[in-house]
Structure 1
């Protein structure tokens, strides 16, 4: 069956818009990669280019040779993994409880949704973490505030409520406890939703630097985002180069301009998420589309 002229024109316009949209996302990254891999002399005259001028990896070697970068990377991976796994567990258990029938459920749900419009407050959270829990300069100060999200609980609860009652009732008849029903019946049923939410949690934690600035003083406990902000951006603005690059330049082992260093650091910080995404893409897309199509 041949397509009509109008349909062909629509497809051309549609794909043109999609290609232009994709280019607006890809080209900035291509420019960052080009600068990070360009020679020092080329960076001086480099305006807008999407291909390295004289291939040079010294900026990456400088960063990967910085022990503070390594420790920040390990901290980011550990904190992101801890918050993602623990956050999913806490949110799922809360959502499972709220999906049950209990007295005053409707009023409680309205109140629960209302809390989304009010911030927890920086000062009360800071006082609670530092004065009462004594978590100043502790990894737990970065993990605990990120565990619970009202929005994620509501999304997970809505998916749990779509599971047929007969399925959970059959589990209870077979002698399953509430915990067994949750972990063996409910959670496997909503894997796409959990994968999507887990990805959102991981992205939020990985890209966060504000809590590190508030709670952490020891630079060995920094995360990658705070390392990028504190060492790469702030130091290059004030001194022209980061401490690690300056130290290596003094030894005569490397000669890297701040632009190379900044853009190489940006690529290295973004790389782990880019590498992980293909493995969860299928579940991520399914989780986003859950509930959008009624059969």
Structure 2
């Protein structure tokens, strides 16, 4: 009875460790590729056998590729570096701004391959998201017909509940409790992640930016909305339902500037 109960837990734990180890291999290649397997082992602390196994799986999945052998070695296995395979997959991106939506395709190094900006003129949420899905489909057919889409990332202002993929409130768009992830999963068939744009920028910085950014980074966004996010200890922080205090309507001393909320002197 105990063994039966422990079995799935142990299996899950092993799977989580394998996933973390494969991620560390991919992280090393993203940071330093092209890179030899032996160097990956030194950077990650994994055994040579583990690196070989994870690399083989990542090659099979089309996330890595082998490059021609560099240099000559007298003994041992040839020095065959690996790098990210930027020609097999694309990631979709959608930014929902106040006056327009931007849809883009990126490779696995975060390079923008193509993007399209679409004014939306205050379309209803469902109509705007349906139009964004159509644009994404057109971009995939027109610019990446032979590539496999990995998923779609969505960023916008306002209060975004990342766990449920919901825009809880975006006053400038007039949105309340819009299930963005569910609507886009239904129209695209892709895995979809939704977050506020400040946190999305922090994630991007930690993924593609300088290695020190993973330890501690603060992002301040100032535009039609004011937003901020931060990461410490290798973690991007989220409040309950990804909520945070709003600063837009804090009073500014000696200001009579009218605000769209009906008051004056708002920040």
More helix per residue: 1 or 2? 1
Bigger Rg, which one: 1
Greater relative contact order structure (CA < 8 Å, 6+ sep): 1
Q: Same fold by TM (over 0.5)?
A: no
TM-score for the superposition, normalised by structure 1: 0.27
Give the alignment's TM-score, normalised by structure 2. 0.29
